[in-house]
Amino acid sequence: MNSYPAPARELVAELVGAAAGDPARAIAFQGAPGCNGHRAALEYDPKALPLPCFSFEDALDAVKDGRAARALIPIENSQHGRVADIHFLLPESGLAITGEHFLPISYAVMGLGDGPFAAAYSHPQALGQTRQYLRARGIVPMSYADTAGAAAFVKEQGDPGNCAIAPPIAAQLYGLKIVAENVEDATDNMTRFVALAQQPLAAASLAGVTAMTTFVFEVKNIPAALYKAMGGFATNGVNMTKLESYQKGASFSATTFYADIVGAPGDPAVDRAIEELAFHCKHMAILGSYPQARPRG
């Protein structure tokens, strides 16, 4: 609790208490009240009880410990790419992806006064999404754990030369003045969140809906291994909408891949494609199949 700036602690305590009274309705998110994760949780399930957690690991642990039925975690942004460390955290969590949510992102500059400001505090993703705005005004970006927490931090520090980049609601929650709105560098700024739970969705719950499946894999360290592993998706007509690589460990000898496809196991085409993928892999793990929230393509 004390990890949060003082202006946020009372709100955090209130939300934590409500979630503790009904964990089955709780959705854990990373950040202070008023951050984009908080907004996403309320949009994803308006009846949910949002449970603020200081870090992504804390949010995942809340689900593993039974303090929340689900966690809602951002994994990628249309402007700034994947959220750091997420591709490591999701497979290691042991949780299953059970849904996705797309949240339009808009940021405001907020502070104790009208500026000018020397420094802006926010989450690295938000700083990256407002890079042009900050650079044009000579404002130094300063990394903070989350956007709304940065607003609470600016309030706590009491320095009129600092500002925060956060959702507009954070200014209301923490008593700051909005100096500029819609400061994101792209008007179509969008973040994709995934919902995670202890158990995957039952196959029957995906009947009749367009599904997505997310998985990670490591191909054998031989020539053309990735090309051969991907061939099954092409020959079986399975649409792969995302493929990203990342390194695990310091050897740089093996690359792990994170992928999304349209479809779910149980579909013969998907089953054939995954079987062929597994043949060419050292390791493969499905992270979850879930209803598609937004058409791809």
Query: What are the catalytic residues?
Result: 191, 193
Rounded Cα–Cα distance for residues 294 and 260 (Å): 13
Structure-block tokens of residue 101? 């949510």
Residues 6+ apart with CB under 8 A from 134: 120, 127, 140, 141, 165
Rounded Cα–Cα distance for residues 209 and 201 (Å): 13
